[in-house]
Amino acid sequence: QVQLVESGGGLVQAGGSLRLSCAASGRTFTNYVVGWFRQTPGKEREFVTGINQSGTSTVYKDSVKGRFTISRDNAEKTVYLQMNALKPEDTGVYFCAVSLLNIVPTNAGAFASWGQGTQVTVSS
């Protein structure tokens, strides 16, 4: 079981930027695909982006392509989500999670461990 802690959320104006961090514990961190999801009240948790174990493959939800960048530093056991040109529809609680699959899945059920989430609010 990998323990995950998200940080970096906050309140920003539309067009602004935030950088989220997902800090992990556990010696097997490099064996995990890491994904970011977001959720708003009354809506299903949705996939935002994911990155493979080595950081050589990434997947993005269409609506964030060109604006969000996922990266990882395995030595520091941390995954980052750089979010630029934020829009009000990006508002939500952002969660990071890990999967043992060898590809980046987009369904929440494929991820085994989750962080507590960090709130991102984008005002218009």
pLDDT of residue 1: 73
pLDDT class for 42, splitting at 50, 70, 90?
confident
Q: Mean pLDDT of all residues in the chain?
A: 95
pLDDT of residue 56: 95
Res 95 pLDDT > 90: yes
Could you report the per-residue pLDDT of 111-123, keeping only the tens digit for each?
Answer: 999 999 999 999 9
pLDDT class for 41, splitting at 50, 70, 90?
confident
Asked whether the beta carbons of 115 and 97 are under 8 A apart, the reply is yes
Decide: residue 16, CB within 10 A, 0-12 exposed, 13-18 middle, 19+ buried: middle
CA–CA gap between residue 82 and residue 99 (Å, rounded) = 21
In the three-class reduction of DSSP (H, G, I as helix; E, B as strand; rest coil), residue 62 is classed as helix
